[in-house]
Structure 1
Amino acid sequence: MWGAERLSYMLQSVVDEALIEHISVDTAQIAILAIGAEPQRPGRPSSCLADALAAILDDARQHGKEFHALTQFCDYGKAGIGKALAQASQLLASKDGPEYVLLAAVDSLLDAGAVESFLAEERIATDANADGFIPAEGAGAVLLTRSTAATPALWIEGVATAQEAWRLDSDTPLRAEGLTAAIRGAGQAANCEIASLDFHASGMTGESWYAKEVGLALARCMERKKPEFPHLMVARSVGETGAASPLLTLAWLAGLMAHPTNPGSAGLLHFAGDNGQRTALIVRYSSHSQVTG
């Protein structure tokens, strides 16, 4: 199974898996926001992802079900997770909005066009280039709600986005101003200090520019020195999955932070896109009822 058929299958699989524990929930109260790669990404899957979402809706109708009318496809890319979460929050808060938002994403960098383009830019890890990423593919989904009955759960307490002026092909120095603004904004939204968090997780894939950016941003955002601030990276296990990376990270942390040997109860997540988008999130695992923004 390859191409559009494979991506459609992957998206359908994570949607089904995310809902399997909520079979009793009326799907008419669930809006799906399906995220794909940004339009300018090399080798980006074309309209097949929007078609994949349409196929999911058609399949539901054949089984006598309907998803919420505000279900839609969003070509936001990896760092567009902040925009998607803001959109989900607005849907959940609206008068006629859904009770749940199923945030899903699917992406593949194994397309020949993507591989050829990134090889030409010397961004893929090879025997001759250690400063690169491993192209991969993935899909992930998380079910979002404001309902306090959803505890214990991973709560998203703050989200912020910013734009970085620097680009990979730029002659200007990398100052990490966009990521710094996003991290500070997320901390303010969650009303917490970044230094009070237990760990951070990112979409970093092995390229040195991102490591430098993260180092600069954290140095500016930490209110005080910390002896340790563990960095979790889903790409260490699955490679570069593009737009799917943030959803894989959220799903992974939802299970990891519930485990007795968890990395902590609160963390910072941050993601960067080639188009300059930067997003930061503050997440906290809690067994107590609460309502988040």
Structure 2
Amino acid sequence: MMTFFNTRAAADRPEPVRLAIRAAGLCCVVGYHLRAASCALRAHMDHFQESEFRSSNFDPIIVARLPDDIYGHERLQRWVSHAVRDCAHGMREPLSLLDAARTAVVVLAPDPTRTHTGDGFYAALVANALHQLRAAEDAGAAPSPDVDARIVTVIASGRAGLGNGLQQSMRLLGDQAVEQVLLIGVDSYLNAADMNAMLRAERLLVKGNSNGFLPGEAAAAVLLTLATPDARGIFIEGIGHADEAGRPDGSVPSRAVGLTEAIRAACGQARVTPADLDFRLSDQNGEQFFARESANAVTRIMFGAQQLVHLTLADKIGEVGAATGVAMLAWLSHEMPHIDHSPGNLGVLHLANDGGDRCAVVIRHTGEN
């Protein structure tokens, strides 16, 4: 079964938040699993390459592509399988992912203006990935009825859907409907429909347009539970939402009001001030509109305090859309506990959609580095 979540309703509920990240997985252009990808990201590596896609001048478009020659449903399903399997390897009870009574699944997908967003497309990807996990753990076993019967909640709201996915996870855990939630993000721009649409809108980084992004693809997964008061680890402690009137096409200028409100709301829910933050991790992808907006918002909220360390992922893995937020959480869950390369113990993630949705998430590491 599949349910769709109302992405606007979550913003109106000021619920207390303290979710723990218990395991994570990442499949992206610089690594098929989180540990490999994290090493590459620390080294500022990328895997950008010319593709068979062509610009209006017939120049090859640079993309962040995983090395595989399959396309469509099967391609995305493979990345989801890698991410879920990677997440399972970090769990004490990996087979609990297949138990619908213990684990709910929430999937972040592209917004409805993008391709492949309807007819259960992403719910089917995840169901097939879970079947593959079952087959890997128990070769020759029949498909599990629990996997077939589970409800997969699909949140089709792009990058800024991260906050809605976390709030949906909080509700499921708070209602004690399940013990844990598997939050998955998956997306790829590497299809003709998306590439042509972005070319027409002059959104891609091609010859003659420096104000664009490099299209990419990725899948990421994090396992979430409720956090106990004395627990140590990586925790999500604040979520903020807001709407921004500005649009990337320039039809309405951005005043960074929405992003400012979202960051302040996330900090307020986490009971911290912006001056307490050590770093920010943004979805900045090379487009000037979002770069200016985030710079304006952060300058406003810091109000003369120290400059935050600014981290990004798109300059290494490309623009990965709905997978961005979960990839951020997965990466930070691996990096923050390590004293040698931790960006700090308290940070904020912020993400923006073309349609005006803005989201911010406060993340904290407690315990020894």
Other-structure match for 1:164: 244
**Following superposition of structure 1 onto structure 2, how do residues 37-48 of structure 1 map, counting pairs within 5 Å?**
37-41=110-114, 43-44=115-116, 46-47=118-119, 48=121
Other-structure match for 2:104: 31
Q: How far 1:223 sits from its partner (Å)?
A: 4.3
Other-structure match for 1:268: 348
Report which stretch shifted further, 129-138 or 253-262. Answer: 253-262
Give the conservation status (yes or no) of the 8 Å contact 1:76–1:84: no
Looking at structure 1, the residues matched to 123 and 150 of structure 2 have their Cα atoms a distance apart, in angstroms, of 15
Q: How far 1:22 sits from its partner (Å)?
A: 2.0
Other-structure match for 1:72: 153
Give the conservation status (yes or no) of the 8 Å contact 2:123–2:152: no
**Following superposition of structure 1 onto structure 2, how do residues 128-167 of structure 1 map, counting pairs within 5 Å?**
128-148=208-228, 152-167=232-247
Q: How far 1:283 sits from its partner (Å)?
A: 0.5
Q: Which secondary structure does the structure 2 equivalent of 1:8 belong to?
A: helix
Q: Which secondary structure does the structure 1 equivalent of 2:316 belong to?
A: helix
Other-structure match for 1:199: 279
- The 3 A distance-change label for structure 1 pair 44 and 206 is farther
Match of 2:314 among 235, 249, 255: 235
Give the conservation status (yes or no) of the 8 Å contact 1:38–1:44: no
Q: Which secondary structure does the structure 1 equivalent of 2:272 belong to?
A: coil
Looking at structure 1, the residues matched to 126 and 85 of structure 2 have their Cα atoms a distance apart, in angstroms, of 12
Give the conservation status (yes or no) of the 8 Å contact 2:87–2:222: yes
Q: How far 1:118 sits from its partner (Å)?
A: 0.8
Q: Which secondary structure does the structure 1 equivalent of 2:146 belong to?
A: coil
Task: Please state if 1:116 is matched with 2:196.
Answer: yes
Other-structure match for 2:31: none
**Following superposition of structure 1 onto structure 2, how do residues 243-254 of structure 1 map, counting pairs within 5 Å?**
243-254=322-333
Looking at structure 1, the residues matched to 78 and 251 of structure 2 have their Cα atoms a distance apart, in angstroms, of 41
Q: Which runs of 5+ in 2 are unaligned?
A: 1-69, 135-140
Q: How far 1:13 sits from its partner (Å)?
A: 1.9
The count of aligned residue pairs is 285
Question: Counterpart of 1:90 in structure 2: which amino acid?
Answer: R
Match of 2:77 among 8, 24, 31: 8
Query: Following superposition, which runs of at least 4 residues in structure 1 exceed 6 angstroms of deviation?
Result: none
Other-structure match for 1:185: 265
The structure with more helix, counted as a fraction of residues: 1
Question: Counterpart of 1:242 in structure 2: which amino acid?
Answer: G
Q: Which secondary structure does the structure 2 equivalent of 1:144 belong to?
A: strand
Report which stretch shifted further, 136-145 or 28-37. Answer: 28-37
Question: Counterpart of 1:183 in structure 2: which amino acid?
Answer: I
- The 3 A distance-change label for structure 1 pair 90 and 63 is same
Looking at structure 1, the residues matched to 237 and 229 of structure 2 have their Cα atoms a distance apart, in angstroms, of 17
Other-structure match for 1:259: 338
Cα displacement string for residues 80-113 of structure 1 (whole angstroms, at most 9, x for unaligned residues): 1111111000000004x11111100110011111
Other-structure match for 1:19: 88
Report which stretch shifted further, 83-92 or 7-16. Answer: 7-16
Other-structure match for 1:94: 175
Q: Which secondary structure does the structure 2 equivalent of 1:186 belong to?
A: helix
Cα displacement string for residues 210-242 of structure 1 (whole angstroms, at most 9, x for unaligned residues): 11101111122114421x311110111100000
Q: Which secondary structure does the structure 2 equivalent of 1:128 belong to?
A: coil
- The 3 A distance-change label for structure 1 pair 264 and 65 is farther
Q: How far 1:150 sits from its partner (Å)?
A: 10
Q: How far 1:256 sits from its partner (Å)?
A: 1.1
Give the conservation status (yes or no) of the 8 Å contact 1:195–1:224: no
Other-structure match for 1:291: none
Normalising by structure 1, we get a TM-score of 0.90
Looking at structure 1, the residues matched to 216 and 129 of structure 2 have their Cα atoms a distance apart, in angstroms, of 24
Q: Which secondary structure does the structure 1 equivalent of 2:343 belong to?
A: coil
Q: How far 1:58 sits from its partner (Å)?
A: 5.1
Looking at structure 2, the residues matched to 260 and 193 of structure 1 have their Cα atoms a distance apart, in angstroms, of 23
- The 3 A distance-change label for structure 1 pair 57 and 254 is closer
- The 3 A distance-change label for structure 1 pair 110 and 72 is same
Cα displacement string for residues 42-99 of structure 1 (whole angstroms, at most 9, x for unaligned residues): x44554322212324555583547358443222121101111111000000004x111
Looking at structure 2, the residues matched to 157 and 139 of structure 1 have their Cα atoms a distance apart, in angstroms, of 24
Report which stretch shifted further, 129-138 or 27-36. Answer: 27-36
Q: How far 1:148 sits from its partner (Å)?
A: 3.6
What RMSD over aligned residues (CA atoms) do the two structures have, in Å? 2.2
Looking at structure 2, the residues matched to 57 and 150 of structure 1 have their Cα atoms a distance apart, in angstroms, of 32
Give the conservation status (yes or no) of the 8 Å contact 1:158–1:186: yes
